[in-house]
């Protein structure tokens, strides 16, 4: 214990010290709240991972990072982890640790190295959660084993292709899908996949995931997830709070990190009984959440649930509740969060108020036509120009994935199968796992093209389809898509969507510059594998990935280098023959050109990925396959794209450190 008998030595175990550009970020809003409370209360803080553990002369140690706040800081105490930095590294005897929180994303099974060493903390009763709690909730099949009588999706475990194929025979076909998970998966829904029963490459898909995860779960898909799911959080058996998560447009998973909306919710008596039964089945867990559908089917249980939703919706701080109780247990009293007058309390959830303020004035819902499915919806402007705040370290611009046009403008177009060739189909899904502050246009680019100058360009160096205005879209045959000219008032209304898209990006850039001294923007596109029609490379086969940097002028050289290097390294292990090029055939469109300003700390990179890398293209000879996602290839592409963007983000942080 510290010299001050009211202060503790607190350690945090996780695979990495940071999962973002912040120097300290354990990438779990519940853990980060606990970390913030510990820092604000003055406890001594250490961080280590499982590989940092070792024995020396019979005593257990960790090679630990020492974490500290600056002498003066101005921020909400529940967010002060964002100001923590690593100030030293030293061996720490585990016997000196008063309390240790194990995020445990590097603890998968009982074969995880060094479990015997961290067990030293568990034997002393200072490890939260215990190893048993970690292992039981990391194994997503444990719920089925412990409480098979609870309502839950039908689930089978498999370690081989034969077992997986046999399990599929017993799974019900719900809307043509089943769910595949990493049995020992951890975090944010990225290891959960919805797969089609009739995928022509199904055996290869299963083999790929078994090779990747070793152990998989095959689970009944429940279409009711489209109505959202419930997260019910408990601490020491007490119900802390429930909330409803509704998935983002175009997304079936309800993870907050994937853009889901979190809403307050009142449980029915039956729902609460089921949630309590699931929680009671895991008595080793102190802090636990139960994920369940509104029908009562329990999806899974998790140790260390996130804390952002409860704080935003109800003002409930998991970090404060946990530390108040643990300090009483260890010290006999809790320490108030009053580190001094330098703390300025701010309202949670206010961080993006200035962004959502831009949507004021767009009050009326709009009826839109989905040109892909020919269905109609009533959507708000926030659905059409979508802002997803995920990882707040970089910005993703996704301007051409949209398939919607307001129905009142349908008569201005001759919509047919050719129209889909003008859309970067599923590019929003391709880039969804990258994270970042995502700005997505759900409007079809031939309706309003976000990647064109508002007033067009008179440059003789640009072909006509690149010099047009946002509403003068030329198709691959160099024909104007707009069949009926807009009236001035109509065009003015349409351009408000264009202005909103760029205003959101511009405001995010300014926010990031204020917060971290720079902004990194990735402009995300897909393209056909062969140049079609109006382009200068017509008929030529393209590289699978093209990085556009305006001939290396759109971003700092180290950022560009890190991005390209990570892409090369990311695609190599998969041995798919994927190729990479820079600036050919695309060096950077209007978004890259208008927003890049490296001299003033704004760095922009454009990336294009051929559609055949992750889906069957509209030109596919087998008509039955057209527009279908290649499930395994999509996951691979998401993996190397995420690594590349995170590498660029890390390089940017180093440039400005």
Q: Which residues contact 259 (CB under 8 A, 6 or more apart)?
A: 247, 248, 251, 386, 388, 390, 432, 438
What percent of the chain clears pLDDT 90, i.e. is strictly above it?
A: 55
Distance CA 36, CA 40 (A): 6
Bin 340: left if φ > 0, else alpha if -120 < ψ < 50, else beta.
left
The C-alpha angle 606, 610, 611, rounded to 5 degrees, equals 120
The listed range with the strongest mean pLDDT (239-248, 361-370, 635-644) is 635-644
- 243-247, 332-336, 368-372: range with highest mean pLDDT: 368-372
Q: Tell me, rounded to whole angstroms, the distance of Cα 360 from its chain centroid.
A: 26
- Region 592-603: mean pLDDT is 95
Q: CA separation (Å) from 374 to 258, 368, 369? A: 26, 10, 6
* Cα 212 to Cα 206: distance, rounded to the nearest angstrom: 10
Beta bridge pairs of residue 404? 370, 443
Can you tell me which residue has the tokens 């510990």?
A: 38
Cβ partners under 8 Å of residue 111, min gap 6: none
In angstroms, the CA 479 to CA 510 distance is 38
Distance CA 243, CA 290 (A): 11
**Residue 10: closest CA among 64, 83, 86:** 64
- 110: CB partners within 8 A, 6+ apart: 135
CB-based contact 91:107 (threshold 8 Å) = no
180, burial (CB in 10 Å: exposed 0-12, middle 13-18, buried 19+): buried
pLDDT computed for residue 351 by the predictor: 64
Provide the 3-class DSSP secondary structure of residue 68: strand
Poorest-confidence range of 53-67, 80-94, 306-320, 628-642? 306-320
- What pLDDT, in 10s, does the model give residues 192-217? 899 999 998 999 999 999 998 899 99
Structure tokens at 484: 């009926």
Distance CA 406, CA 385 (A): 13
Distance CA 14, CA 105 (A): 6
pLDDT in tens, 122-157: 999 899 988 898 889 889 999 999 999 999 999 999
Give residues with Cβ within 8 angstroms of 281, minimum separation 6. 143, 146, 147, 150, 301
- What number of residues does the chain have? 657
Three-state DSSP at 654 gives: helix
**Cα–chain center distance at 655:** 24
- Of the candidates 351, 405, 361, the one whose C-alpha atom is nearest the C-alpha of residue 382 is 361
Overall average pLDDT of the 523-534 stretch: 82
**Cα separation of 160 and 69, whole Å?**
49
Token output for 368: 């839109």
Centre a 10 Å sphere on the Cβ of residue 394 and count the other Cβ atoms it contains: 28
Instruction: Give 233 or 20, the one with higher predicted confidence.
Output: 233
CA-wise closest residue to 503 among 439, 554, 443: 439
| Mean pLDDT, residues 391-411 | 92
Average of pLDDT values for 155-179?
93
Structure confidence at residue 476 (pLDDT): 62
What b/e readout covers 410-442, taking b as 16+ CB neighbours within 10 angstroms? eebbebeeebbbbbbbbbbbbbbbbbbbbbbbb
Give the C-alpha separation, 17 to 98, whole Å. Answer: 20
Stretch 358-385: mean pLDDT, rounded? Answer: 87
Distance between CA 83 and CA 163 in Å, rounded? 48
Q: In what order do the strands lie in the sheet with 375-379?
A: 375-379, 366-370, 404-406
| Cα 486 from Cα 269, distance rounded (Å) | 55
Instruction: Return the structure tokens found at 115.
Output: 């479990």
Please enumerate in sequence order all residues whose Cβ is within 8 A of that of 104, keeping only pairs 6 or more positions apart, or say none.
13, 14, 129, 134, 138, 186, 303, 304
Nearest to 56 by CA among 9, 120, 12: 120
Longest dimension (CA), the chain: 83
Domains of the chain: 9-129 (3.40.50.20), 154-221 (3.30.1490.20), 353-655 (3.40.630.40)
User: What is each CA distance from 167 to 147, 206, 217, 219, in whole angstroms?
Assistant: 20, 12, 9, 9
3-state secondary structure 134-177: HHHHHCCCHHHHHCCCCCCCCEEEECCHHHHHHHHHHCCCECCE
Residue 122: strand, helix, or coil: helix
Q: Higher-confidence residue: 535 or 554?
A: 554
Question: Apex CA 122: angle with CA 116 and CA 123, to 5°?
Answer: 90
In degrees, rounded to 5, the angle at the alpha carbon of residue 211 between the alpha carbons of residues 178 and 524 is 70
pLDDT in tens, 403-428: 999 999 998 887 776 677 788 889 99
Sheet with 261-264, side-by-side order of all strands: 261-264, 238-246, 229-235, 287-293, 298-303
Distance of CA 581 to the CA centre of its chain: 26
The backbone torsions φ and ψ at residue 300, rounded to the nearest 5 degrees and listed phi first, read -170, 170
Over residues 301-332, the pLDDT tens digits come to 998 888 888 888 888 889 999 999 999 999 88
Tens of pLDDT, residues 4-20? 567 899 999 999 999 88
Angle ∠(486,487,490) on CA atoms, nearest 5:
80
- Which H or E element spans position 428? helix 427-431
Mean of the per-residue pLDDT values of the chain:
87
Say whether pLDDT at 344 is over 60: no
> Token digits for 424?
């970067």
């Amino acid at each position: 214990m510290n010299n001050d008998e009211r202060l503790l030595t607190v350690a945090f175990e996780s695979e990495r010290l940071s999962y973002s550009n912040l120097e300290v970020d354990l990438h779990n809003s519940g853990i980060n709240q606990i970390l913030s409370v510990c820092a604000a209360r003055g406890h001594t803080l250490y961080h280590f991972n499982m590989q940092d553990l070792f024995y020396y002369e019979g005593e257990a140690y960790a090679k630990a990072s020492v974490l500290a706040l600056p002498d003066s800081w101005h921020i909400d105490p529940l967010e002060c982890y964002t100001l923590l930095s690593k100030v030293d590294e030293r061996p720490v005897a585990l016997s000196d640790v008063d309390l240790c929180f194990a995020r445990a994303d590097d603890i998968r099974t009982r074969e995880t190295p060094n479990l015997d060493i961290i067990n030293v903390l568990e034997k002393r009763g200072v490890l939260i959660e215990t190893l048993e709690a970690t292992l039981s909730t990391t194994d997503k099949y444990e719920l089925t084993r412990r409480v098979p009588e609870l309502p839950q999706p039908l689930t089978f475990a498999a370690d081989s292709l034969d077992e997986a194929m046999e399990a599929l025979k017993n799974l019900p076909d719900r809307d043509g899908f089943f769910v595949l998970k990493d049995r020992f998966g951890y975090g944010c829904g990225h290891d959960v996949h919805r797969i089609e029963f009739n995928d022509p490459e199904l055996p290869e898909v299963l083999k790929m995931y078994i090779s990747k995860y070793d152990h998989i779960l095959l689970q009944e898909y429940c279409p009711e997830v489209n109505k959202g799911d419930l997260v019910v959080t408990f601490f020491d058996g007490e119900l802390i709070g429930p909330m409803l998560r509704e998935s983002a447009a175009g997304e079936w998973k309800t993870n907050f990190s994937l853009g889901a909306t979190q809403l307050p919710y009142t449980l029915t008596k039956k729902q609460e009984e089921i949630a309590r039964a699931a929680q009671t089945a895991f008595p080793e867990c102190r802090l636990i959440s139960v994920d369940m559908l509104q029908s009562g089917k329990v999806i899974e249980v998790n140790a260390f649930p996130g804390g952002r939703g409860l704080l935003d919706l109800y003002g409930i701080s998991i970090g404060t509740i946990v530390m108040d109780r643990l300090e009483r247990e260890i010290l006999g009293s809790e320490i108030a969060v009053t580190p001094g007058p330098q703390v300025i309390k701010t309202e949670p959830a206010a961080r993006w108020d200035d962004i959502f303020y831009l949507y004021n004035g767009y009050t009326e819902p709009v009826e839109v036509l989905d040109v892909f499915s020919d269905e109609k919806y009533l959507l708000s402007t926030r659905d059409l120009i979508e802002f997803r705040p995920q990882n707040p370290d970089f910005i993703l611009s996704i301007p051409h994935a949209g398939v919607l046009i307001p129905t009142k403008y349908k008569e201005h177009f001759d919509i047919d199968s050719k129209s889909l060739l003008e859309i970067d189909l599923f590019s929003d899904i391709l880039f969804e796992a990258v994270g970042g502050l995502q700005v997505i246009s759900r409007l079809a680019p031939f309706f309003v093209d976000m990647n064109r100058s508002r007033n067009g360009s008179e440059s003789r160096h640009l072909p006509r389809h690149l010099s047009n205005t946002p509403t003068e879209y030329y198709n691959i045959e160099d024909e104007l898509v707009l069949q009926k000219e807009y009236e001035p008032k109509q065009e003015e209304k349409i351009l408000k969507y264009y202005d909103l898209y760029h205003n959101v990006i511009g405001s995010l850039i300014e926010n990031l510059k204020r917060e971290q001294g720079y902004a990194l923007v990735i402009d995300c596109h897909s393209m056909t594998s062969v140049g079609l029609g109006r382009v200068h490379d017509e008929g030529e086969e393209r590289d699978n990935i093209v990085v556009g940097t305006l001939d290396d002028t759109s971003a700092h050289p180290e950022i560009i280098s890190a991005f390209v290097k990570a892409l090369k390294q990311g695609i190599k292990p998969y041995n798919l023959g994927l190729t990479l090029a820079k600036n050919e055939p695309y060096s950077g469109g209007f978004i890259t050109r208008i927003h890049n300003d490296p001299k003033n700390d704004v760095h922009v990179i454009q990336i294009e990925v051929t559609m055949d890398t992750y889906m069957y293209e509209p030109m596919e000879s087998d008509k039955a396959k057209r527009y279908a996602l290649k499930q395994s290839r999509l996951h691979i592409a998401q993996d190397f794209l995420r690594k590349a963007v995170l590498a660029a983000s890390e390089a940017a942080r180093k440039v400005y450190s």
